[in-house]
Amino acid sequence: MIQHIQFDGAEAIQASNGALVMTIIPSFGSNVISLVDVKTGQELLVKPESFSALQESPILHGIPVLFPPNRIEGGTFSFEGETHEFPINEIGKHHIHGFVYDKPWRVVTEKEESGIITIETAIQLEEPAIYQHAVIHLTYELEGQVLRQKAVVKNEGSKPFPWGIGYHTALLFDERNAAFSLTKTNQWTLTDEAIPTGKLEETDPFEQVNLQNVPLDDAFAAAASENKAVVEGEDIRLVYRTDSAFKHWVVYNGNGREGFLCPEPYTCITNAFNLDLPADVTGLRVLQPGEEDSVTAQLEISYPQ
């Protein structure tokens, strides 16, 4: 079932398939602000208390779309001999999280067929100049106990552009009782301002780790296959699975006792635009004129025996 509802005065779409109830606000980042598991009645995401709360803190609610993800050091980079500048919006030094998470998206498709609910939205970027001909289509599908996210990025211009996409997925997380696992290979060494130095180090695996009082704002290289983050609670298990295009994870949980966890899948690492490393390491992609590319992630809900 698909309904058009009001969320604190904002137009929203609510979709329910009997297993999950999803709420999207297309006009503000096409953000999935709520995902409820029907069997347990649990809200799975950090849902904003109001639309103004979402506007004030757009990155820590729901599933914000980051294009490109995380920081661009100094808000500047060079591509094919030309210097590009992004607006400085973090600690007066860097650009962070891109250009679509708080912008209006248009609704392209709403349908329910063969047991799958599909909501597709799209955005034509207007700024910065390098992305003036970038178009992103974002398709959410509800199928059983799975929320699938497919992003298609298109270059409708006459010049190539570098790109990356990520999701700042904010999950409710009970640090006292929940465990966290993550498929990863190495950890990126970061500066005090969370910019990768270009070095990767081996780290211990995350296997059913208790994160109570363990603050994280760390970046990891993802596993080449079976890439996933897993949250296991007392009566529910959530698996966040991605395709191989997502080469990195950033994991953020504030001070480790705030009741949330953000396992953030990225196709390219923070500041990939400026790192002097191969694209197969950073994940940075380039779209030529007329080309498009797609990436997929999904949240899967199950119940421990």
Active site residue 85: no
Residue 168 annotated as catalytic: yes
20: nearest Cα among 113, 137, 150, 116: 116
Do residues 119 and 140 make contact, with C-beta atoms less than 8 angstroms apart? yes
Pairing, β 10-16 against β 95-96: unpaired
- What residue has token string 């398709």? 139
Amino acid of residue 272: A
Catalytic residue among 61, 137, 168, 248: 168
Distance between CA atoms of residues 6 and 12, nearest Å: 6
Catalytic residue among 73, 120, 141, 264: 264
Residues belonging to the active site: 168, 264
